[in-house]
Structure 1
Amino acid sequence: MENLWLTASIWVALSLAGALLAGWTGISISLVEIIVGVLAGNFLGLHTETWVNYLAGAGSILLTFLAGAEVDPVVLKTKFKESLSIGLLSFLLPFIGAFLYAYYSLGWDLRAAQIAGIALSTTSVAVVYAVMVETGLNESELGRIILAACFITDLGTVVALGILFANFNAWMLLFLAVTAAVLSITPRFTPWFVQRYGNRVSQLEVKYLFFLLFLLGGLASLAGSEAVLPAYLLGLAMAGFFLEEKNLTLRMRTIAFSFLTPFYFLKAGLYVSLPAVWASAGIIMVALVVKMVSKFIGVWPVTRLFRFSSREGMYTTLLMSTGLTFGTISSLFGLTHGFINQEQYTILVTTVILSAVVPTLIAQTFFRPELVQAAVSKKQSLAMIPQERKG
């Protein structure tokens, strides 16, 4: 009989190793955990367990919820035309391009090609947000537009996943009805609940949020959909509340990134076969080109239409070409539900990982807006001024 606690210690040790590598290299922790999972699956013979699947699933739900909660509703409203145009085309054209490539060029069946279209149409909110904060662009108008556009793109991918792979039956009607009710009630009910029962040792507000996420996720599963869909919508519905409740946001992030999401990203990497990556290297590179070119065709002209400078337009296009979280979620959904096989999963996840790295490096190296560099320098200079002189 396998020793549960020793097995758990191995998974946590891998998570710890990933965190240390991320700190030393400066690479996104999610990306490093996937790579560690790849190595563990190919060289250590690690495999999933029932409890690992549960924790990984909970991690993906919570991560998706937090991504939705990061969207600033005010920015989404004030820059709606720019955000909607960039975000919608950033999803639609790569979805079509990747679907056609997988269906006609690679000969994948309809369901597998649809998974490919969804997985390669995503934009990584996690990667983009980290870049925004690092460069100071999150405080500029350009940065706010990019972040809002990321939400539109990923909302498109989540909705597509729900629509294309849902079973329209009585369970679906129940799921839609309950989700609509929860989304309409929670923005008003949650502030009262947290004010009345929050900030206690028992963490009632955290348990309340997990109850909503698991309830909607369970109904989504019964309807044949994916639990991340209502989680993302619930996060958006409560985004205004979370922007004011920084302490609660921090606690939820701590739960997610310290314990739950490492299992998800390690598991995602576990299914990548290195021999399959080597055998499919040409397909993977073409898939990456398809994603980046289709993103360029969709996003670049729109940035020029809204009078972005050439540098800002290219920078925006490259950041919208990134992918990680929703790409791996979509791919893993396809694998676990039998829509794609392990070789196809490996192709998609490897392409997604490369899309998190390549466009970001190009954008930061060659197209980083000068105004951001100036703003960062100014902030650094102000930080060096003694506090009494600032006053």
Structure 2
Amino acid sequence: MEPIFITASLWLALAVVSALIASSLGLSIALVEICVGVAAAAATDWFGLGDVLAANSEWVRFLAASGAVVLTFLAGAELDPDVIRTKLTEVSVVGLVGFLAPFLGCAAIARYLLGWDANASWLCGIALSTTSMAVVYAVMLETGFNKTEFGKGILGSCFINDLGTVIALGLLFAPFTDKTIVFLVGSLAVLALLPSMTAWLTRHYAHRTAAIRTKWIMLILFGLGGLALWSGSEAVLPAYLVGMVLAGGAARDAHWIRRLRTLTVGFLTPFYFLRAGTLVSLPALIAAPLVFLMLLMGKVASKIFGLYPFIGLFRQDRNERWYYTLLMSTGLTFGTISALYGLSHGLVTQEQYSFLVAAVIASAVVPTLIAGMAFVPRHLLPPGEHPGKALRHGDGLSDEG
């Protein structure tokens, strides 16, 4: 047990350093944690410290996965059903284009420019087609855009985009088995009963039993997540659906959402974002930087050229269009999951996997940085908010949450 506590203290020390840097520079905490993770992994290799961070240990992987799952649930819970209904055309068009443009573009780059085989090329297209719900939601929280119809529209588009990625991965590579049917039927049954069961639990026990709603939600998330993994899917997919189903009720109790957000951002997501950074192999990138740059530019360019004209149909302001487009160009959760799926099933080599993961993680950093520095639509910020304020002064991201 002693080594686990020592290792955990190292991770949390990196999280504290990341928070201080993010606060000082006014950058996204998710972005800074990824960069700090890259630096930490490079430093441990440079000084010959071995696997001191234990990034691939089961307990670190579990905490990181838990962070992704709960953060994805919170992103779904932030969606206002009325806003999504009114923006259904926008989120559907932007989400589908955001998936198809990089899926086809990056698959073509891998096949015809890099000479990868068909399976590796299609897997490349899938891995680089994603939009990072975790990064986008973290940015929405920090800026305050999660409270606006603009931010909720971006989150809705992210969901459609990533849903396309999951479906493509399943149709092209994942076998449809009896387990898949069990997962679908079980998830639909739980989602159908969840609003009424949660409302009953909240009405009778929420305010006189210790944190029972949080325990209940974690039970549902981990239960459906385990069922998803057992069936060959991913735990974050049902988490988003659970959040969407409970969005109306969750919005009525902002205090509970803030407390759950504090637990998630304060403890769980640092493991996820920091660990994502440690997956980047700097030696592999240094050995073949052009491959990495081609994949990164292929993803970002295909996203921008595919999305910008369509986003212009719904957002007229220049900063709004660029900010929307750049955030939709990010990638992380489903991208790394897809790349790891390809590696574990022999669809890509270890070297190809390293390039894919590096490009995915870089796509979480570069577009987010540019969007935050140059294209924030400040006129849409809630009154009294400015980029980075939520990070320092509340909304579930500070000690006041």
TM-score (norm 1): 0.84
Partner of residue 393, structure 2: none
Kindly indicate which of the two structures has a greater share of residues assigned to helix. Answer: 1
Partner of residue 246, structure 1: 254
Answer yes or no: is the 8 Å Cα contact 2:279–2:357 preserved in 1.
Answer: no
Deviations 1:182-220 (A, max 9, x none): 111112221221222224563221111111112111211
Answer yes or no: is the 8 Å Cα contact 2:99–2:164 preserved in 1.
Answer: yes
Partner of residue 237, structure 2: 229
Do the aligned partners of residues 18 and 336 (structure 1) sit closer, same or farther apart at CA in structure 2, a change above 3 Å counting?
farther
Do the aligned partners of residues 365 and 61 (structure 1) sit closer, same or farther apart at CA in structure 2, a change above 3 Å counting?
closer
Cα distance between partner residues in 2 of 1:266 and 1:25: 18
Any idea what SS the aligned residue of 2:130 has? coil
Do the aligned partners of residues 336 and 24 (structure 1) sit closer, same or farther apart at CA in structure 2, a change above 3 Å counting?
farther
AA of the residue aligned to 1:3: P
Q: 1:177 Cα shift?
A: 0.6
Partner of residue 151, structure 1: 159
Partner of residue 335, structure 2: 327
Cα distance between partner residues in 1 of 2:43 and 2:131: 30
Cα distance between partner residues in 2 of 1:173 and 1:291: 33
Partner of residue 389, structure 1: none
AA of the residue aligned to 1:222: W
Answer yes or no: is the 8 Å Cα contact 1:116–1:331 preserved in 2.
Answer: yes
Partner of residue 308, structure 1: 316
Deviations 1:236-291 (A, max 9, x none): 22222222221222222222222222222222222221111212321222222212
Equivalent of 2:212 in 198, 204, 207: 204
Answer yes or no: is the 8 Å Cα contact 1:136–1:372 preserved in 2.
Answer: no
Partner of residue 17, structure 1: 17
Q: 1:60 Cα shift?
A: 2.2
Structure 2: segments with no counterpart, 5+ residues: 45-49, 388-401
Cα distance between partner residues in 1 of 2:319 and 2:18: 34
Answer yes or no: is the 8 Å Cα contact 2:30–2:138 preserved in 1.
Answer: no
Q: 1:341 Cα shift?
A: 4.3
The number of residues matched between the two structures is 379
Do the aligned partners of residues 138 and 253 (structure 1) sit closer, same or farther apart at CA in structure 2, a change above 3 Å counting?
closer
Structure 1: segments with no counterpart, 5+ residues: 381-391
Answer yes or no: is the 8 Å Cα contact 1:56–1:260 preserved in 2.
Answer: yes
Cα distance between partner residues in 2 of 1:261 and 1:367: 26
Any idea what SS the aligned residue of 2:131 has? coil
Q: 60-69 or 159-168, which moves further after superposition? A: 159-168
Partner of residue 29, structure 2: 29
Cα distance between partner residues in 2 of 1:185 and 1:220: 18
Q: 10-19 or 73-82, which moves further after superposition? A: 10-19
Partner of residue 93, structure 1: 101
Q: 176-185 or 350-359, which moves further after superposition? A: 350-359
Answer yes or no: is the 8 Å Cα contact 2:75–2:137 preserved in 1.
Answer: no
Q: 135-144 or 228-237, which moves further after superposition? A: 135-144
Do the aligned partners of residues 378 and 235 (structure 1) sit closer, same or farther apart at CA in structure 2, a change above 3 Å counting?
closer
The alignment's C-alpha RMSD in Å is 3.1
Any idea what SS the aligned residue of 1:3 has? helix
Q: 169-178 or 277-286, which moves further after superposition? A: 277-286
List, as ranges, runs of 4+ consecutive aligned residues in structure 1 with deviation greater than 6 Å.
Answer: 133-136, 375-380
